[in-house]
Structure 1
């Protein structure tokens, strides 16, 4: 009799785990479908609902964490890469998520990040003589032919990056010039500028900027996000 009860308990637990995985997979698939439809994506994003067990989260209408990986996304003719969205402490009944009703969906924290390719950044400062933008360790490197005091030279400028309310402030830190010595103050005068980053979704603000091999990873964070008021922006 005791052995029978143990087997029955094991089967019951296995059944609960199976139902939990089924519910989680179904919810992830539906969220991916809705995101793809709203943002007119050619492919459905990857969605992962964190926390265990899923059914307990669904019953309480609170999900610890949802990660959405979109990949490349084009807006106003500019393609950014590796777009990721993370929602923490998402409050929403399971039935509303599955039916596409976002009227009562709210996240405690929403974090979005994307990589702006260096080619896109180079086009924005081509008029300053910048011919190439790349990574230089923890900094960004601007390379090009610049004229200082009437003398043109091939110069590499390592710049620091600071997130602000208006965008990313780019400030020269060190200068490497071929054949001549270029004062840093002179470079700062000509190559200190702001990369405008505005209109971030969900009222988020830039919290981090990190150079990676392919571009600048920009991270924005918003708190107490009402997803019923989030409307996708049209692509250009």
Structure 2
């Protein structure tokens, strides 16, 4: 009995040391991956990278991790006013292959959500235009409200605009209808050139594309996904 008790104690101690080593290793890997993701995407702040599953060392030995989660806050817009600040971005990556001492990380597939506040969407809108919540239309379309003074014309307006995904990395706003006092003067094209606009979401991982969006009282959530997504490179 004493022999088996001693064996059990040794097994417990070794198991504890393995767990400790595994947690240290995963912490180092997460930090390195976060640093590389920040450098690769040109982020102002280092994102949080979480390597899921246990044990990490066994996964690392095979050169592929089952699941990795990444979370980034305050992803700044590029200069020029043609892109949007992303308040938060959360992604779940599947089948992540690390190489070059964790300097490169490519996922078989990934899905995520970028959140944009109405305040940031207003900053990216034409001068004098404010974007706010408008819920969902009767047929399920995501809507926002534009209010303000039309640049170059001076007329005040308040219109509903549909917001949609435009291509792999942008969203666009298109007014459902314009006030009759403007269309009667033949100003529709001129007004639409001012208030219908497209803005890009930058600094997202390479290989990921926007797929759909929903609106809420506080902002817009944009879903994204893709294959062979580069977290760091």
TM-score range, shorter chain: 0.5 to 0.7
CA distance in 2, matches of 1:42, 1:76: 11
Q: Structure 1 length normalisation: TM-score?
A: 0.67
Residues 83 and 114, structure 1, Cα contact 8 Å, conserved in 2: yes
The yes-or-no answer on 1:91 pairing with 2:97 is: yes
- Equivalent in the alignment of 1:141: 144
Deviation at 1:82, TM superposition (A): 1.1
Kindly indicate whether the alpha-carbon contact (under 8 Å) linking 1:202 and 1:222 is maintained by their aligned counterparts in 2. no
* Equivalent position of 2:206 in the other structure: 202
The 3-state SS of whatever aligns with 2:130 is: strand
Alpha-carbon distance, 1:23 to partner: 0.9
Q: Which consecutive aligned stretches of 4+ in structure 1 deviate over 6 angstroms post-superposition?
A: 188-192
After alignment, is 114-123 or 83-92 more displaced?
114-123
1:116 deviates by 2.9
- C-alpha distance in structure 2 between counterparts of 1:47 and 1:145, whole Å: 41
RMSD over aligned Cα, in angstroms? 3.9
Secondary structure of 2:206's match? helix
- Greater RCO (Cα-Cα under 8 Å, separation 6 or more): 2
SS in 2 for 1:81: strand
Give the total of aligned pairs: 210
Q: Which consecutive unaligned segments of at least 5 residues does structure 1 have?
A: 181-187, 231-236
Quote the offset at 1:223 in angstroms: 0.7
Q: In the alignment, which of 68, 77, 86 is matched to residue 80 of structure 1? A: 86
Q: Is the 8 A contact 1:133 1:140 kept in 2?
A: no
Which whole-Å deviations, capped at 9, do the CAs of 1:97-141 have from their partners, x for residues lacking one? Answer: 34x2x3xx43111335433332343355547xx743222345433
User: Cα 1:225–1:32, aligned 2, differ >3 Å: closer, same or farther?
Assistant: closer
Question: Is 2:134 the partner of 1:132?
Answer: no
**Offset, 1:194:** 5.3
CA contact (8 A) 2:133 2:217 kept: yes
Write the distance in 2 (CA, Å) between the matches of 1:164 and 1:37: 27
Q: Distance in 2 between matches of 1:75 and 1:171?
A: 21
Is the 8 Å Cα contact of residues 113 and 218 (structure 1) preserved in structure 2? yes
Say if 1:32 and 1:47, in contact at 8 Å, map to a contact too: yes
- Structure 2: gaps (5+ residues): 137-141, 181-187
Q: Secondary structure at the match of 1:44?
A: coil
Residues 141-160 of structure 1 mapped to structure 2, 5 A cutoff = 141-144=144-147, 155=158, 157=160, 159-160=161-162
Superposition pairs of residues 201-220 of structure 1, within 5 angstroms: 201-220=205-224
